[in-house]
Chain A
Amino acid sequence: MSVLELIIALPLLAALAVGLGAPARAASLGATFINLILVLYTTVQYWGKTGLAFTYSRPILENPSLSFAVGADGISIILALLTTLVMLAAIWQIHDRPAIFYISSLLIGGGALGAFLTTDVFFIYAFHELALIPTFLMIALHGRAEPAHRKAVAWKATIYLGVGSLVLLAGLVWLVLEFSGGSKLTFDLEALRNQARLNPLPDAKQAQIFFVLLLGFGSLVSLFPFHSWAAPAYATAPTPVAMLHSGVLKKFGLYGLIRIALPLLPHGVHVEWVQNALLLMLLGNILVMGLVTIHANRLDDTLANSSVMHMGYIFLGIAAGTEIALKGAVILMFAHGISIALLFGLCGRMRNQLGTLEYNKLGGLASHAPAFTVLFAFGTFASIGLPGLTNFAGEVMIFLGNFTEFKAGALTNLQWTVIVALWGVVMSAVYMLRAYRGIFHGSPATGLFMIDPAFSQRVPFIMLAATLLVTGCCPWLLLNLMKSAVVLP
């Protein structure tokens, strides 16, 4: 038995218990809190190590070889930290809601932990699907819109992500079949990595499979142009679901690309047509969605679209494929997850108290709710990429990672893309500061009243903001966990 199994099982068991009638808040908070401690414990245990640790495998089938195998390296641990932090914050901030809110949050978080901590492709995939189902249900049943509208939104997300998952499944099966060479099938990631090291596929084939995986994983991460499910889904989803999906679950696609696609198909992303396609798509995320976000005039809209936009930078790190850029991408995944969860959490609170999120109806809240304003400022400046908060470290590593191979006078496509994408950093400042100005600055709008949350209600947000500050000032804390190379040498 590995500690990782406990970490995966705990939220799922807690969900079951709540479903059977255990006191929802106490059980969920307790389980999540213990889980956070367990993850911190594994983090400390892993400190200074490299490679896969805490491995444990329970064989299920002989041929095709399938086993419930767990294991974690620095990347998984960072994402597990992200998941437990966001899960605790999301569950803590639930206030006066039926038990289904707790159950679905536990299932989404537990599913994500399962996806990040198992090392068998089959289970990585299955856990993600498990986490998706409560997401859809919660949008449809408890979304923040008219029933007809929220059902439409849930439908759209269901179809998009369903189709994306199927494309992904096709890609994964193709991948497994290619590596098995007609003999014994295996889903074990380590075995597959060994195969890829010993008998790499020809570049052309790597490119084809990589592209299919990119489309599959990409639509789960709202890669342009397969993104239009995301903004309405986040704007409609109940607060804990928006926090958990945008903060954690969406990172699954990126995790899959880094954990499965890049090591098994190391040349796939560098084949010219794949790279150019990826660069075009990610520029769509950054430039098109940047402008769309500027156009938004409601906070939930701004946040939802910005979250689509910011994925472009993580894809940029994946496209570069260098050690520095990939580690930057992981840091940015962590940073984005924490900061967007913080912002969605605060946004949900504002909607509950004020009943509106339209900028032209808001203003001057800083005078009423100073502590709330400071917390929101953390989220705002984190997503702008201010140094001292984690997002900056991730972004700057991604940018620099693209410039490690350099010839003056002959910039590569990647490098031109970075330069164009840098304009997006200006755009995020434009929309986030507009939002901040509209909501918090100026004289208080008439008829609006909002007070600071009580301290106990502030704790989850303080926890997220403090995480941004600590890992932002000391990003080497995260880097130390990622001493091993991301892609095979």
Chain B
Amino acid sequence: MKKITKRALSGLALAGAASLVLAGCAAAPDASQSAVEQLDYLACGVSDEGSWNDKSFNQSVYEGLTKSRDELGVQIQDAESTTPDDFAPNLQAMIDANCDLTIAVGFNLVDAVNKAAEANPEVNFVTVDGWSNGATNLKPIGYSMNQSSYLAGYLAAAQSASKVVGTYGGMQIPAVTDFMTGFYYGAQAWGADNGTTVKVVGWNPTNETGDFIGDFTPNSGTSKAIAAAQIQAGADVIFPVGGDQFGAVSEAITEAGIDGRMIGVDKDIAATSPEYSKWVLTSAEKRMTNAVYDIIKAIAVDKQAFTGDAYIGTLENGGTALSAITNYTGKQSQADVEAKLEELKAGIIAGDINPLG
């Protein structure tokens, strides 16, 4: 028994060694020049507990960092947080590593990054989804989501057969109602263009009342109940603004047995969550990858001075945009609607159209 084991083991070892030797037969590479000129600029990122591959904002930021490394030639370093205890030490590690710019991702890091910015005035920081308590070396990244939501509302009204569209939010806070207000006026604009009345259920920007889940729990029962009630009220396109509510909305659509659509938020839902793609009309995206890239490029390549002014993602700078349109079955042809959306986008960028009223 013992002998067999020994022989088996030595056989295994031999096989292992052989594969090592075989694998190791390639020629040694020569030192080669990389394509992009390397810059003496160190951009760093600290994730929240979601980690870099969360398919959401952490990942978008990390892609922004790698894009900057590959295209601009800046150096990058990163650290992931696994508990809230890691936030401050991770930021400190970036300061100790002499990072020129440190990006703190997520609302949860807002206290830690404000403290780090105050304690290290010579280092620059960016907070994604956070805010600055006044430090001039801390730049918040924010979004004019009403702009892309306006386009989403216009498209929703064009798609709708019942000319009733719905929207609801996680909580009634400005970051959420910004989407909903843009959506409301976009839908009304389609009605005005086509001489029909479009009804928006779930949000009235004039008296600021609407449907809200009460929290951001993904796909809760409350969320599904709101979606079902809006479908009951005639809505056949729904725009849920509260993170991942797409499971709840798609279930409500399926159970009601209607040919309904939903519009994604933050990322291109049809691509990131293909299981929902058959209901997705489009998504109102926050393109953080672009925001991170633009900020790094402005300082490292264009040598602009760093300021604490917020970076606002707009249609103009590509920080927010609509994803590709899928599953469109409205009466107007998709090409006509897309042409009109381009016109509206130009109008918003030029300032002729106010998505907030």
Does chain A bind chain B?
no
Residues of A within 8 A of B (CB): none
